[in-house]
Amino acid sequence: MISRRTLGWVLLEFLGSMNLAITLLVAIAIASVVGTVLQQNQPYPNYVLKFGPFWFEVFRWLGLYDVYGSLWFIGILAFLIVSTSVCLYRQVPAMLREMMRFRTQIQLNSLRGFHQRAEWLVPERNVEQVLAEVTGAFRARGYRWRLRDYGDHQVAAAMKGRYNRLGYLFTHAAVVVIGIGGLLDGNLWLKLKEWRGEIAIEKRDLSSRDVPAISRLQPGAVPAFRGNVMLPEGSAANFVFLRLRDGFLVQELPFSIELEDFQVAYYDTGQPKSFISRLRIHDREQLGDQPLAATIQVNHPLVYRGYAIYQSDFGDGGSKLELRAWPLSGTRLEPVELKSEVGNGLKLTGSTGPLNLELDDFRLFNLLPEPDAKPGDRKFRNFGPSFSFKLRTASGEAREYFNYMAPAQLEGRWFYISGMRARPGEPYNYLHIPAANNSPERFLKFNARLHDADWVKTALKRSEPTTENPDFQRDLNVVRANLLNLFLHGGFTAVSERAKAVVPPDRLQEATKLYFNILRDTLAELFLEILREEGIKVEEGIGESEDAFFNDALSALASLSSYEAPFYLQLSGFQQVEASGLQVTHSGGTFIVYAGFLLLVTGVFIMFYTSHRRIWVWLAVEEGATRLVVAGTANRRQADFSQEFSLLQTTLSQRLGVAALALGEGA
Amino acid sequence: MAITHQVVLEQWDQPSLWQRLTLWDILWGLLVLVGSGYAYTLYQPYMDRYEIAIPLGATIALIAWGLYWKPARLFTLIVTVLAVMALWRYGTHFELRKSDFLLKYFLESQAAFMWMSSLYVLATFTYFVALFGRSAFIGKTATALTWSATGIGLTGLLVRWRESYLLGADIGHIPVSNLYEVFILFALITALLYLFYEDRYRTRAMGGFVLLVISGAVAFLLWYTFDRQAHHIQPLIPALQSYWMKIHVPANFIGYGAFALAAMLGVAFLLRSGAEAHRPDGLMAQVLPPLELLDDVMYKAIALGFAAFTIATILGALWAAEAWGGYWSWDPKETWALIVWLNYAAWLHLRLTKGWRGAPMAWWAIIGLFVTLFAFLGVNMFLSGLHSYGTL
Ligand code: HEM
């Protein structure tokens, strides 16, 4: 008997204890922090990169990449639900009793122990008269009361605001209700199915068609899900992808969604103003042959058959790009024209072997902080269309590039900008190709000519001064050719490295300076030759802009050596095809959760802003007088109650015509 | 607890609410009805069909506010007059803010915020001078300064609302859309909450402490304006174009304001109890607000904050259901709102059911402010998520 009671009782005691409740509240708060500090549900390789293989495994084991879906976290939440339920189970009966009972069974001594109390000896009035005054006072303030006659004395027990007790019930029931609704809407069902082996997440990069049945969910298979699909304009889908850890599942829908078109509207400043998808829902079962047309945008979803369809993302749906590949390493002057679509690849043969060109993205607008702005100035500039691509070598290594279509003006000069990075997630290194006449051609031609040894030789010959010393001239020519070669393959660094290798340290500075001067002069000569080819009369002097162009060209040439692409890919034309990212959700628990919200708000307000007040009146006849003892309590807002009580005291004193006895005098 | 004037004068036999209404009360109600009715006809073209409920709710709330707390009436009236004056000076020309004298130096939103900032800082000092100098007159001055700062600040916010429409009909929006704007809202709401408690408890002793956190907000605001140029009105990103923003954000800031107020009272509590323990006869132990008062107001503020925060979080969830496809996404901002909420739930339980009082609760309220501050500022600065529009 004792042991049975102990076990069940101890468990109940533990689960319903305030200490556990507070511990759980704080534990959930702290556990939640983890998931906000570590970005959740990223692709797993990102985590490996960040933490290294060892910690990656440890954190994976702890479920830190999806904290809120991890068993331990759901466990704590479930614990809170259980604990709150036990608390309710244990408190509610007492609270209901507290609401219903007037508690007329009370002793004089306990009344005299109350913090709020007062006592009178009323001469020349009988009990009934005094009682009438008191109950009149109760009535005036909306107190309800019960009277009990004990023969030698009477007790009236009054109360008001007993619904305050419902506040506790509502609030805590709300926690349970919201918790349960939330669990129903979480990915508990998927976990259950996975655990029973009914589904397995797909980790390969497959198209939806090829995903095997074990990774597909039929409509209605789970009561709640949240999935995404990216639809190019003009296409349709009857499924969404559910991302789960490092893989995904395909959730089929009982209808199909077609994206007619997707539009982004912009403010004058270039910031996006609205994302609008025009959809058609095809549903033979419900709609027959007539599709349902609907427009959705952010904050305005479509709810169809209990499935909510939201505008959540956008991207490229296979824009058609016209490209011009300008060779960077050979002597060829003309670009090669190419055509492809975003999402597709092209096989190319570079100078160093076969290359795969993968077109990744196209963007119509690039709104970026104004680079020429004063610090702190929050100006933005639209840099216009851009596209990004990867160049993948046969061994699988890839570099990413990001090129703007139009030249951009920086510090008053115009550049074609191309970013390159060797690893995803790193910042881009930018190549600034100076533009002339709205084209990168002059620079690219200059570069190609520099790679043409014969052209260089002839050009330099033309500018050779007539000299008395042909040997010197020949040596100088060799030095010039060498420096140029070094520069083209390794930039300025290669030149100074060479100087370091061949010149003794005491003359290094001087020699480096000399090398650079020779190199610069040589390049200047060659640049003049390019201008000549363009038909510019350089003998009449060149303008400031050409001068600036030359300086910018030098910087660009110097950084070409680390650009690592055999060509510069210029975007010459495009036809944009957009894609709209839709999120489709189905949440069976929403209704429950919303009901919980209602309970919670009602409960909180009742609990804070009402109070359950009780006032007892004890009356007895005593030698020609009536003894009146009044005492009261409130379970909330004690300050307000003490004011009310003292008001009651003054009022009763007035009406009875006697002052209250000083406290302590009564007994 | 100090028994207030009102209560002493109060009748035990309470007449019904209807009988208690004075001519002034009725006048107030009518004035608000007519005023907001007129504003509604004026701005109705800018509202979408969901938004009818919001002006209606705001009107009712404003009437109730004025009935519940009388000083709110004069305040509302003055702010309305100032704001209308600004709108009248502006007409439809945004450029007038640089040339019109009244706008340029007083009513244009930036000018108004500068006035607000300086008055709040001044009020902070004045409250402390009044406290330590035990001067009732200086105390009244501090109250007047706080009221003025709040009035001009609220005017600035209203004017900024109009200015955003003057910039372009498609740019116009309620100024609670970014960190800059909500910082002003925070200062105003905290100040109003404080002024309410000051009035109800008939004491100015808490003023300096509460105004200190407002001055902190002002310091941030000034840095944000001058160093980051954050004061420019920006168009709304699509995710924020929703009527939910109009109710979700202010509700949140009632919560933040109340929590901040409670934390500052926690500071006062610790100072006073420290002073009482070490130098019971010292000035500090005499002039700082009494412990029971602080304890009571701290509880009231946290309860109010908790209620407002509960509503705000629920509104946020409803909005998220509409904007992001689910009422809860464990987005960092959401999660931190939950953390703040759980933290204060724990605080309330300790006080109510375990009967904790005194220094530990004061410390907890102060730590609570840091948790709140992180939810409101830190998340935007350090964490990325769906709420990523408030970055510094
Ligand atoms: C997320 C979970 C919970 C929330 C949000 C919550 C919220 C609240 C709030 C706001 C109050 C009112 C405090 C006041 O008036 O100052 C309260 C009171 C109370 N809570 Fe909780 N609570 C939670 C869980 C629990 C649990 C698990 C228990 C059981 C141990 C519990 C037991 C109580 C009790 C006994 C009261 C006092 C009721 C009264 O005397 O009227 N609560 N709760």
Crossing angle of helices A508-533 and A441-450, in 10° steps, is 120
Q: Which H or E element spans position A360?
A: strand A353-363
SS3 assignment, position B31: helix
A22 chain-B contacts, CB cut-off 8 A:
346, 349-350
Closest to B362 measured CA to CA, from B310, B312, B288, B253:
B288
How many folded domains does chain B comprise? 1
Task: Indicate whether A119 and A206 sit together in one domain.
Answer: no
- For residues A531 and A427, membership in a common domain is answered with yes
Q: Which amino acid is at A220?
A: G
Residues 6+ apart with CB under 8 A from B167: B94, B233
User: Has residue B17 been placed in a domain?
Assistant: no
User: Which tokens in the block code for residue A589?
Assistant: 């628990």
CA dist., res. B311 & res. A415, Å (int) = 53
| Residue A455 domain flag | yes
Give the number of other Cβ atoms within 10 Å of residue A31's Cβ: 17
What span, in angstroms and rounded, lies between the C-alpha atoms of B93 and A29? 50
Give me the torsion for CA of A118, A124, A127, A129, rounded to 10°: -100
Q: Which of A308, A643, A651 sits opposite B325 (nearest CB)?
A: A308
Over residues A600-614, mean pLDDT: 94
| pLDDT tens-digit map of A3-29 | 556 777 778 777 778 888 888 888 888
Question: Has residue A600 been placed in a domain?
Answer: no
Q: Is the ipTM of this complex over 0.90?
A: yes
Residue A68: pLDDT over 50: yes
Q: What is the reported pTM?
A: 0.86
* Residue A175 CB–ligand 1 contact under 6 Å: yes
At position A607, the amino acid (one-letter code) is M
Contact A568, A440 (CB under 8 A): yes
pLDDT of residue A93: 93
In the predicted structure, residue A432 carries a pLDDT above the cut 70? yes
Instruction: Kindly report the average pLDDT of chain A as a whole number.
Output: 88
Scanning A186-315, the segments in alpha helix (DSSP H) are 188-195, 284-287
A389 pLDDT above the threshold of 80:
yes
pLDDT exceeds 50 at position B147: yes
From A607, A611, A614, A637, give the residue whose CB has the most ligand 1 atoms within 8 Å, as the site to mutate: A607
For ligand 1, is residue A312 a contact (CB within 6 Å)?
Answer: no
Residues of chain A positioned with their CB less than 8 A from the CB of B316: none
**Three-state SS at A261:** strand
Query: Is residue A212 in some structural domain?
Result: yes
Q: How confident is the model at residue A637 (pLDDT cuts 50, 70, 90)?
A: confident
Domain range for A281: 188-317+579-595
Q: How far is the CA of A594 from the centre of ligand 1 (A)?
A: 20
In this prediction, residue A38 has a pLDDT band, given cuts at 50, 70 and 90, of: confident
Q: Is the CB of B353 under 6 A from ligand 1?
A: yes
Q: Do A550 and A438 sit in the same domain of this protein?
A: yes
* For residue B1, pLDDT beyond 60: no
pLDDT of residue B390: 41
The closest CB to that of B227, out of A26, A376, A651, belongs to A376
E strand segments, A14-162: 116-123, 144-149, 154-160
A8 within domain boundaries: yes
Mention every residue, 6+ apart, whose C-beta is less than 8 A from residue A513. none
Q: What is the pLDDT of residue B6?
A: 44
Mean pLDDT value across residues A389-398: 88
**What residues of A are in contact with residue B227 (Cβ under 8 Å)?**
376
At residue B21, does pLDDT exceed 90?
no
The preferred substitution site among B311, B349, B350 for testing ligand 1, maximizing ligand atoms within 8 Å of CB, is B349
Distance B250 CA to ligand 1 centre (A): 26
Cβ distance A571 to A329 under 8 Å? no
CATH of the domain at A127: 3.30.160.110
Option in B3, B229, B323 nearest A643 (CB): B3
Atom of ligand 1 nearest to the CA of A80: 27
Has residue A620 got a pLDDT over 80? Answer: yes
Contact B255, B308 (CB under 8 A): yes
CB nearest A28 (choices: B323, B342, B354): B342
Q: Which residue has the higher pLDDT, A279 or B228?
A: A279
Q: Say what percent of chain A tops pLDDT 90.
A: 42
Over the stretch A519-541, which tens digit does the pLDDT of each residue have?
998 999 899 989 988 888 878 87
Structural domain including B372 reads: 99-382
pLDDT value, residue B392: 40
Encode pLDDT of A192-210 as tens digits.
898 899 999 898 887 888 8
Whether residue B342 and residue A29 make contact (CB cut-off 8 A), yes or no, is yes
Q: Is B354's C-beta closer than 6 angstroms to any atom of ligand 1?
A: no
Give the span between the Cα atoms of B238 and B219, in whole angstroms. 30
Same-domain status, A648 and A569 = no
Question: To the nearest 10°, the Cα dihedral for B331, A236, A590, A35?
Answer: -20
Residue A667 above 70 pLDDT? Answer: no
Test mutation, A36, A188, A377, A645, chain B, max B CBs within 10 A? A36
Chain B residues within 8 A of A65 when measuring between CB atoms: none
Give CA A489 to chain center in angstroms.
Answer: 44
Are residue A490 and residue A568 in the same domain, yes or no?
A: yes
Residue B74 has pLDDT above 90, yes or no: yes
Q: What is the pLDDT of residue A362?
A: 93
Distance CA A173, CA A176 (A): 5
User: Tens of pLDDT along A456-481?
Assistant: 888 888 777 666 777 888 888 888 88
Q: How confident is the model at residue B24 (pLDDT cuts 50, 70, 90)?
A: very high
Question: How far apart, in whole angstroms, are the C-alpha atoms of residue A367 and residue A382?
Answer: 4
Q: In this predicted structure, which of A262-271, A508-517, B212-221, B302-311 has the lowest mean pLDDT?
A: A262-271
Q: How many Cβ pairs closer than 8 A exist between chain A and B?
A: 140
pLDDT band for position A160 (50/70/90)?
A: very high
User: A328 and A211, same structural domain?
Assistant: no
Q: Are A518 and A483 in contact, with CB atoms under 8 Å apart?
A: yes
Q: Are residues A9 and A115 in the same domain?
A: no
Residue A178 and residue A266 in one domain: no
Residue A183 pLDDT level (bands cut at 50, 70, 90): confident
Same domain? A428 vs A287: no
What total number of domains does chain A contain? 4
Q: Are B12 and A648 an interchain contact pair (Cβ–Cβ within 8 Å)?
A: yes
d(CA A554, nearest CA chain B) in Å: 36
Hey, are the CB atoms on B12 and A376 less than 8 Å from each other?
Answer: no
**CA A614 – ligand 1 centroid, Å:** 22
- Ligand 1 pocket, mutate which of A24, A84, A90 (most atoms under 8 A from CB): A84
- Contacting residues of B for A600, CB less than 8 Å apart: 310, 314
Buried b (16+ CB within 10 A) or exposed e, A120-152: bbbeebebeebbebbbebbeebebebeeeeeee
Q: Is the pLDDT of residue A66 over 70?
A: yes
Residue B391: band (very low, low, confident or very high) from pLDDT cuts 50, 70, 90? very low
B352: Cβ below 6 Å to ligand 1?
yes
pLDDT at B386 over 60: no
In a domain, A392, yes or no: no
**What gap in Å lies between CA B64 and CA B62, rounded to an integer?**
5
pLDDT at A190 over 70: yes
pLDDT for the residue numbered A377: 64
Is residue A122 located within the same domain as residue A12?
A: no
Per-residue model confidence as pLDDT tens digits over B262-287: 999 999 999 999 999 998 888 888 89
In chain A, which residues have their Cβ closer than 8 Å to the Cβ of B238?
272-275, 297-299
Average model confidence (pLDDT) across chain B: 89
Whether B50 maps to a domain, the answer reads no
Question: Does some domain include residue B346?
Answer: yes
Using CB atoms within 10 A of its CB, is residue A259 exposed (0-12), middle (13-18) or buried (19+)?
buried
Give the residue with greater pLDDT, B6 vs A272.
A272
